[in-house]
Structure 1
Amino acid sequence: MPLGRAAGPTLVAAALCLVSACGGGSGTVAATPSASVAASDDSAIRPDCLNDDERSKGDPPGPLVALMGSGPKGVVFAPQLGDDACQWIEKARELAGKGYHTATFSWGDPAQDSLPAAVARLRAEGATKIVLVGASAGGGVVLQEAGGLEGVAGVVALSPVDVYGGMPGLAAYKGPLLLVTAEDDTNPPLQMVKQYADQHPGSEQFIKIPGNAHGVVLLAGDEKLNATIDAFITGNLGP
Structure 2
Amino acid sequence: MSLRESRRALVLAAILAMALTCVSACADRAPDTAAHGSALAENRRSAEEGTVGMPEFTAAPAQLPSCFHGVRRAGAYRLPGSSGSGRLVTLGAGPRGVVFAPISWGDACEWAAEAKRLVADGYHVVTFDWGTDRRRTISDATRLLRAHGATGVAWVGGCMGGTLMLSMLADRAERPAGVAGISPLASLGGYTAGNGSSYDGELLLLGTADDPLSDEGRLREVARGFPEAEVAVLPGTLHAAEIFAGPHGDAARRSLDGFLGRTFAPAGG
The two structures have a TM-score, normalised by structure 2, of 0.66
The aligned counterpart of 2:60 is: 41
The aligned counterpart of 2:251 is: 224
CA 1:175–1:75 in structure 2 vs 1: closer, same or farther (change >3 Å)? same
- 2:226 is matched with which residue: 176, 200, 209? 200
CA distance in 2, matches of 1:165, 1:111: 14
> Is 1:78–1:115's contact at 8 Å kept on the other side of the alignment?
yes
User: 1:48: Cα distance to partner?
Assistant: 2.0
CA distance in 2, matches of 1:196, 1:57: 33
Q: Aligned in 2, Cα 1:41/1:215: closer, same or farther, shift over 3 Å?
A: same
Identity in percent: 30
The aligned runs of 1:1-239 (5 Å cut-off) are 40-42=59-61, 44-51=62-69, 53-59=73-79, 60-148=83-171, 149-150=173-174, 152-161=176-185, 170=196, 173-201=199-227, 203-219=228-244, 220-222=246-248, 223-238=250-265
Alpha-carbon spacing, 1:147–1:55, altered in 2? closer, same or farther (3 Å): farther
Q: 1:141 to 1:46 in 2, by over 3 A?
A: same
Say which structure is richer in helix: 2
Which structure has the higher relative contact order (CA within 8 Å, separation 6+)? 1
The one-letter code sitting in structure 2 at the alignment partner of 1:113 is R
Q: Distance in 1 between matches of 2:198 and 2:187?
A: 18
User: What is the one-letter code of the residue matched to 1:143?
Assistant: L
For 1:218 and 1:118, locate their aligned partners in 2 and report how far apart those are by CA, in whole Å.
24
AA partner of residue 236 (structure 2)? G
Residue-by-residue CA offset, 1:103-157 (whole Å, 9 max, x unaligned): 1111001223211111111111121211111111111122111453546121111
Residues 89 and 146 (structure 1), Cα distance of their counterparts in 2 relative to 1, 3 Å cut: farther
Which of 1 and 2 has greater Rg?
A: 2
For structure 1, the 5+ residue unaligned runs are 1-38
Partner amino acid for 1:152? P
Q: Mean alpha-carbon deviation: is it higher for 116-125 or for 185-194?
A: 185-194
Q: TM-score, normalised by structure 1?
A: 0.73
Return the alpha-carbon distance in structure 2 between the equivalents of residues 155 and 66 of structure 1: 19
Contact 1:145 1:170 in 2 (8 A): no
On the 8 A contact 1:46/1:56 being kept in 2, the answer is yes
CA RMSD of aligned residues (A): 2.6
> Which 10-residue stretch deviates more, 157-166 or 129-138?
157-166
Segment drifting more, 177-186 vs 116-125:
177-186
